[in-house]
Structure 1
């Protein structure tokens, strides 16, 4: 075969074909692999994508981590840090550059911690520490809780703020502990031993573990096997409120309930008491509204009765009776209202006593007693005014009584038609007239008429 024949049989790749073939080979052979190296030349572009180099002592590789992947991380890599990256080898066809597309990024050592965490989680689960059958019921109305957390962190204040706002009657006893570092495990264990010793005397309704968010290293003390075993031996319902909602520790699984955050734990603890407190406030507002509506209605009824009082003496007695009936009805209505209110208050008091929110009950009772006193004063004042008004009307009518005029020496003269004589036109000579004075009545004949 000569040289020309060889030239006619050869296959010539284009640059694009070669790069595409290399890209497929890389992606098929090196997909979903872990690599380890030191980060350098880290750049974060406005698009949100990260570009950096992973290197060791002898070599390096260009890496890219796109925004929709790096947004899941809770840290930004720093120059010189050692990392383990999960991803796939690929090629950027336009330049023919070989690169590593990163799917996940972990600090070197985190993988070992995760492995230890999963092994411990499996071992404790096999021992039955996570079984639901061993879980204690969280009390709906806790009155005294033990809290294991740091006295210096914001977590303590967050929990206090929530409880003071929603259920101030709950007593919180702080067992200050280290929650991070080498000495944190022994600090927590010491507090657990102390709580177990004093529980017969203090009778805590609930034990809460609380810590703010952080890295897996920061939260690692709550993955302690000794702490998990100590919690499992407690005869107190427990709540784990460690880190953020996405953070999970061994403590979360061994406790009787996991809260998403420390503030969330406080809301869970106070939920039932908070609902009852709101119900009592709403019921108090409702009772006040009904009471004052009835009072306004009765005041209007008394006003209407007083407006129907007229001058004739024969109506006065009738109005006296109506007023007495209205007074009795008003009195009975108030008594019935008071009795019903007392029944409601007694019922509410018994309900509250079961929950023991003493401060809330005291304020509620003080408001009711104050309202009752004001209403009784208003009722007495209003009744007195109406009696004085009726007495005044009776005096005026008595003064206008025509019989009182006769007592002063006057007489009433009527003609033969029994019409009161007021002028000369009402009588004639020889007519008989009747005369009525205070003591006697008699008849007379007209013998003379003077037109004076």
Structure 2
């Protein structure tokens, strides 16, 4: 029995062999992450696999904190690790010291690093975003001269707002020369006086869209004075051009929609405005009519004498004030003259006083004449107005022998409104008479 080993002893021996083998202390592996889990302790547990094999792996918190990306299920990675045995299960596994994204993953790393740097510089801040004009006159479209993107943009603009001028600028959107060409075409489009620039292309892989992540292109968009709409790729694709542009469109078609108003919606809006304007005018007229009716019902218009009673009294008050003022002024002048007579030798001023008296008399006469003329004109004007009001007054009309016929509180102006035995009321100049109609005779011409 002494020749038999325990499982623990065998596992320890194998682990010892692994740990002593220099070729297993640092191995470089390439594979895909699966069953990825991050423990609450900060350690990472996952499997590394390729098409044919799988190996258990873990990464301690100290090494995981140094990663320049966030690992997730399905990532293709490059790993530097140590191979050993986990004694409790008897499985061999790798302990990862370093890990980097492989292939496309490196592009994502570059993208995130550049995005972080440009964000710190403020290139993506909302305060730099320019508004898109509501009714553009000219749109510059930067994309490949062939392909679905240019066709979608062109057809969408024509269907929504055919009045706008389209400037199509053929631009390289893929390849080594695309970055430089995009920058040059943006600078050129910015000099054309366009209201908005659409920069776009169809979908593709991250490699295909990479030119729109280049820092030179991002800065060219940022420096453009004309508002820019970025329409790169499909709805799920994001590039740095989308972040720096004034507006990001999910697709080239959506970019055309954002850049233009819809002619159908504009037509409906105009019709709605016409209806609102008509409704407002009708309402305004009705309000004015009500105001006119309210003014016409004012009690002073029903009793015209109220309009001039106050004016007559005011004229009398002014006349009285004028006489008082003139008397006060004359009294003051006499007092001044008496004072001068006491201070100055009357003999020397006798002739001057006589002249002043004569001049004063002339002034008095002229003033009295002027006052009389004013009063006469005012009285004549008042008499004319009173006569006009009296001529229009129903009472004056009745003084000439006319009578107002009322039936059921309504004024009767035609024999057509009366019939035999109707009770009527006759209003005369000095009272009213209640009467009964005995017979109605209508003129034949009125029938």
TM-score by length of 2: 0.41
User: Which protein shows a greater Rg?
Assistant: 2
Normalised by the length of structure 1, the TM-score is 0.41
